[in-house]
Structure 1
Amino acid sequence: MIKKLKSEIVKSIKNKRINVFFLFLLSAFIILIFTKLSKEYTNTVAFDVEKLNVPQENIILNDSIKINITLKTHGFKWLKYYLSKPKIKIDFAKDVYKKEGVFVWNKSKAYLNNTQFDKEVELLNISPDTLTFRYGINLVKKVPVKVNAKVNFNPGYNTAGELVSNPDSIVIVGPNVIVSEIDFLETEDVVFDDVKSDLSEITKLKLPQNTSDLKFSNNEVLVEAKVEKFTEGTLKIPVTIINQPKQMELKYFPKTVNVSYYVSLNDYNSITNKNFKVICDYSKITENQSFLIPEFAKVPENVKNPKISQQRIEFILTK
């Protein structure tokens, strides 16, 4: 028992010595790293070009241009250049000019030094001195949005107008050969159920495939509709005969028809029989046909599902 206890004590002491050793080793490594990172180093790094404010009517054709920049700074600053792809911004609104069909950028050490690197980074060299950007002509086209939506209304409700999108059109920028073929953009198919209040839903657009060369002012729209309580109305509307032969006298019955329709409660009292016009076109009858078919010639814009109850108007021709 005493021997076992003595063995455990010796083992524990040895383990503590090992732990202390590794602790000192780790501390020495951390100090070494901090010492290295605190020193200044000079190196050349390839920077990607981030193009800003390229004119909307132009498309840059050579998209993988890099600039080699030689910098001097301490190790902590170098870490960010190695951990992520460094970029240099070139503003096409003020840093370049057009010459013989290309955009030209000239090295401006003072500009880069003052605006894109902090005070602890010394800019030593930029290569090449000049960059040229070939460009093509873009087409800028505004196309309407087509809403693809099915609305299932709660009984007694309907839209006061049409479903609309906000915005109602999209600006497309891209190569002429592609953009010229696009006449409109559609929303994704969407279904609204049990609707009894105003609609306002964000819906994505169906964008053309392989759109890497195209830019869209929006990739989604707000589908909107004003929803109101609707009721059914009925009116008696006089029937007017058109294209009647001049040498013939025509007698017909009935002279009025019942018209039913749906209208919002807000507009119900404003609808009168003067808002409708029902006609029968004599020129549309076929041989041996003894009746006329009534049809609408005028319907108010704010009513839905107008229907004529009578399908036939009987007539007799007399000289």
Structure 2
Amino acid sequence: MSFIILIFSKLSKEYTNTLTFGIDKVNIPQKYVILNDTSAKLEITLKAYGFNWLKYYFSKPKITIDFKKDVQKQNGFFEWNKSNIFLHSNAEFGSQVSLINVSPDKLIFKYDTNLVKKVPVILNANISFKPGYNIFKNYTIEPDSINVIGPNDLVSQIKQIKTEEVVLKDVNSNILKSIKLKLPKDNKDLIFSKSEVTLKGTVERFTEGTLKVPINIINVPDGMRVKYFPKVINVIYYTSLKNYKDITAKDFKVVCDYQKSSNTQSFLLPELIKITDKVKTAKINPQHIEFIIEE
């Protein structure tokens, strides 16, 4: 009982103290961004009974600064004057708290004009498939770009946004997955239109096929006859089961460029210069074509 009486006795007395108040900025015009300034604090001296002091010790005190009515726009900054807080001290602190002093007299808030920039999203993925499965077309990301909003000098430095790493193994069905974006963590002045994107991919059954394709010799000098062997070459391709039956030798073209050979060479190098979009990959075998020059 004595302890309780002592506490109530202390709380019923009037005290004068100085506290550090943080700043809560509201109603900032959308076309401006206020640059972060950790020094934007107020040292406020108040006089109040002990009971009224309790709320300041249980939560970090803040002062609300309304950018529609409490500040004046200057050339490159907004200015707040302590006279604002004296005019509205009852609303801010209550009628039982007396405002004694505020320091500093002014607060300066530097601002910049917001820039909106569209930047591409880059997929960071490590995806492997079960044998016999693959994705025919490229993965799609929705959306494939996002808007970055903020000060011109900060936004102009951002060229792309990467996704968090995606690891998928033994995939054998369509891909539909939300991925978080790897956004800069140390800059609170930037706003991003999206924090995650959706990864999509159509997974199909795949198979390998082989076709014999004629070889054409190009850029042979006038008056020269070249005999070569073999006349056809194997094109080994990788495609989906859906496209397999539609692929023919006419979908590929293989040439040997005589001008790319040297005088000491007895072989030509075949090149696959035409590949149908119905296959994912294609290669040729053998890699050398033997030739002789007829007099």
Alignment TM-score, normalising by the size of structure 1: 0.66
> What are the residue-to-residue correspondences of 1:121-160 with 2, within 5 Å?
127=102, 130-135=106-111, 143-160=119-136
Query: Equivalent residue for 1:10?
Result: none
Which residue matches 2:137? 161
Shift, 1:270, TM fit? 4.5
Relative to structure 1, is the Cα distance of residues 40 and 239 closer, same or farther in structure 2, using a 3 angstrom cutoff? farther
- 1:260 partnered with 2:236: yes
> Cα 1:156–1:67, aligned 2, differ >3 Å: closer, same or farther?
same
**RMSD of aligned Cα (Å):** 4.5
Residue 296 (structure 1) shift? 1.6
Separation of aligned partners in 2, 1:236 and 1:91: 77
After superposition, where does 1:1-319 map in structure 2 within 5 Å? 25=1, 29-30=3-4, 45-51=19-25, 53=28, 60=35, 62-68=37-43, 78-90=53-65, 92=67, 96-106=71-81, 108=84, 127=102, 130-135=106-111, 143-163=119-139, 168-169=144-145, 171=148, 176=153, 183-184=159-160, 186=162, 191-199=167-175, 200=177, 202=179, 205=182, 211-212=186-187, 215=190, 217=192, 224-301=200-277, 303-318=279-294
Distance 1:60 1:289, change over 3 A: same
**Structure 1 pair 275/150, CA: closer, same or farther in 2 (3 Å)?**
same
Report which stretch shifted further, 81-90 or 266-275.
Answer: 266-275
Q: In 1, Cα distance between the equivalents of 2:87 and 2:59?
A: 23
Structure-2 separation of matches of 1:155 and 1:132? 64
Go from structure 1 to structure 2 and tell me whether the alpha carbon gap of 1:33 and 1:204 turns closer, same or farther (over 3 Å shift): same
Q: In the superposition, relative to structure 1, how do residues 280 and 68 fare at CA in structure 2: closer, same or farther (>3 Å)?
A: same
Query: Which entry has the higher C-alpha Rg, 1 or 2?
Result: 1
Distance in 1, matches of 2:285 and 2:250, equals 18
For 1:313, the aligned partner's letter is I
What is the deviation of 1:48?
0.8
Deviation per CA, 1:148-196: give whole Å up to 9, x if none: 43323211111223345555456485684x7766654555655432222
Name which of structure 1's ranges 59-68 and 48-57 shifts more when overlaid on structure 2. Answer: 48-57
State the one-letter code of the partner of 1:277: K
One-letter identity of the residue aligned with 1:102:
F
Contact 2:78 2:110 in 1 (8 A): yes
Deviations 1:93-136 (CA, angstroms, capped at 9, x unpaired): 7754531332223554599679x859888785783564222356
Cα contact 2:35–2:189 (8 A) shared by 1 = no
Aligned residues of 1:151 and 1:191 also touching (Cα < 8 A): yes
C-alpha separation in 2, matches of 1:306 and 1:129: 75
Structure 2 counterpart of 1:133, one-letter code? F
What is the alpha-carbon distance in structure 2 between the residues aligned to residue 318 and residue 121 of structure 1? 112
Deviations along 1:29-80, one digit per CA (max 9) or x if unpaired, are: 5577578769998866432113455868756264321235577888666433
Deviation larger for 49-58 or 244-253: 49-58
Deviation of 1:279 (Å): 1.9
Equivalent residues of 2:89, 2:99 under 8 A apart: no
CA distance in 1, matches of 2:70, 2:137: 50
Q: 1-side partners of 2:12 and 2:174: how far apart?
A: 63
Offset from partner CA, 1:200-258 (integer Å, 9 cap, x none): 263663869xx457747367665554332212233333333332223334443433322
Judge conservation of contact 1:230–1:263 (CA < 8 Å) in 2: yes
- Give the stretch that moved more between structures: 30-39 or 45-54: 30-39
Whether the 8 Å CA contact 1:202–1:222 is kept in 2: the answer is: yes
Mapped contact 1:251–1:316 kept (Cα < 8 A): yes
Stretches of structure 1 lacking an aligned partner (at least 5 in a row): 1-24
| Structure holding more helix per residue | 1
Q: Secondary structure of 1:303's partner? A: coil
Q: Which ranges in structure 2 are unaligned for 5 or more consecutive residues?
A: none
* Stretch deviating more after TM superposition (228-237 or 31-40): 31-40
Counterpart amino acid of residue 252 in structure 1: Y
